[in-house]
Amino acid sequence: MHHFHALTVQSVTPLTRDSAAITFSVPTDLQETFHFAPGQYLTLRTQLEGAELRRSYSICASAQSQQQGGPLRVAIKRVNGGAFSNWALDNLQPGSSLEVMPPQGHFTMPLAPEAARHVLCVAAGSGITPVLSIIESTLLAEPNSRVTLIYGNRASGSVMFKEELENLKDRFLTRLNIVWVMSREAQDMPLFNGRIDGDKISQLLQHLVDAASVDTAFICGPQSMMLAASQAMQDAGIDKARIKVELFGTTQTGERAPRAVAVSDQGCEVTVVMDGAQRVFHMPKDKNLVDAALAQGIELPYSCKGGVCSTCRCKVTQGEVDMDINYALEDYEVARGFVLGCQSYPVSDTLVIDYDAEQH
């Protein structure tokens, strides 16, 4: 579950000037390990100039294509000056081998063939990747459900998966509604011009989408858009518990201020439960769990180390930690004792953290 596996790149297909879809073939003996729920992501790892780089990329394939033995697919968009995205787009080609961690993440919902629901999705730019998987999987699995997608981009030329979305629209004419919002390309309806922000979502919920009919909403994109869209949905009466968000990164930068620790502090003894085995290590209280373990050669799962992706999610079953940034866990998960290892600092003198605890 938390270990990397070498997968072979099957294809690299340009999507726009600055993005490409990358598929991996999954050998038969790893099919179960790489079984995913729509909306989940993969963590990819490479070595670059002697340093290890890990980044997460959402799976953009439907649950049904997986059942038919289709390849795992992600899509990477080039970030200006970005280390991994540029390396991947410049170097990966069919036959390349890449280390991949099995699917993770909770930006998903169980598919229910008998459901008759309205799913509202809001995506901006590369935020379409998990949403595409959710849309296609839902439409295929639930014949009585419908989906509205509000998708923001600069202009048609920069839209990832434009053709695929148009094909989906043709296939599910009455059950898929796509609202294209463009910030640098004028469209006939003024409402469809500009950036997706709180105002835009409020207006769309007043004039085009009946908020009362929305059963579940998914939002994926930049932090400011995500927060504003979520608030606008709540203002329109959609319960926060029915709004799921996925953040790809944060504008917050910089290391946290060093934590004050009592001079007499003896540190903390941490027991790690993972894959049915236990390991114990001792750590200072001014370090987070992931870094402290790594410093002792113990690898705990992580990717972004910024409180965004949830790869480091574990459950505190004994003791107490203080968690810094959390963009990844929902309130109910925190209430059940789940924490982000990369953001958690021991408070108690002993701690038990469990990576095998139930996922939900």
Residues in contact with ligand FES by CB under 6 A are 302-312, 328, 340, 342
Q: Quote the least distance from Cβ 178 to ligand FES, whole Å.
A: 31
Nearer to ligand FAD, 89 or 272 (CB): 89
Q: Which of 285/313 has CB closer to ligand FAD?
A: 313
For residue 129, the partner it binds in ligand FES, ligand FAD, none, with Cβ less than 5 to 8 A by kind, is ligand FAD
CB closer to ligand FAD out of 126 and 145: 126
The answer for residues whose C-beta is within 8 angstroms of residue 49's C-beta and 6 or more apart is none
Min CB(360)–ligand FES separation in Å: 18
Residues that bind ligand FAD (CB under 6 A): 41, 55-58, 74-77, 79, 81-86, 105, 126, 129, 246, 248-249, 304, 308-309
| Min CB(244)–ligand FAD separation in Å | 12
CB of 125 to ligand FES, least distance (A): 20
Partner whose footprint covers residue 340, from ligand FES, ligand FAD, none (CB < 5 to 8 Å by kind): ligand FES
248 binds, among ligand FES, ligand FAD, none (CB under 5 to 8 A by kind): ligand FAD
Alpha helices by DSSP H, listed for 172-260, are: 198-207, 223-235
Sheet with 146-153: list strands edge to edge.
Answer: 176-182, 146-153, 118-124, 216-221, 243-247
DSSP conformation class of 125: G
255: Cβ–Cβ under 8 A, 6 or more apart, which residues? Answer: none
Identity of the residue, 56 or 344, whose beta carbon is nearer to ligand FAD in the bound complex = 56
Nearer Cβ to ligand FES, position 60 or 304? 304
End-to-end CA distance of the chain: 15
Side-chain half-sphere of 21: how many Cα atoms within 13 Å? 19
Residue 85 binding result from ligand FES, ligand FAD, none, given CB thresholds of 5 to 8 Å by partner type: ligand FAD
Report what 312 binds from ligand FES, ligand FAD, none; CB cut-off 5-8 Å by kind: ligand FES
- Residue 34's binding partner, choosing from ligand FES, ligand FAD, none, with beta-carbon cut-off 5 to 8 A by kind? none
- The CB density around residue 213, as the number of other CB atoms within 10 Å, is 11
Minimum distance from CB of 230 to ligand FAD (Å)?
17
Q: What angle do CA 225, 227, 232 make, to 5 degrees?
A: 90
Residues in the chain: 360
φ, ψ for residue 176 (rounded to 5)?
A: -125, 125
Min. distance of Cβ 175 from ligand FAD in angstroms?
A: 25
Q: Which residue is nearest to ligand FAD (CB)?
A: 82
Q: Where do runs of H (alpha helix) occur along the chain? A: 63-67, 83-91, 128-141, 162-171, 198-207, 223-235, 289-295, 331-335
Q: Rounded to an integer, what distance in angstroms lies between the CA atom of residue 235 and that of residue 233? A: 5
Find the shortest distance in angstroms from Cβ 84 to ligand FAD. Answer: 3
Separation of alpha carbons 132 and 216, rounded Å: 15
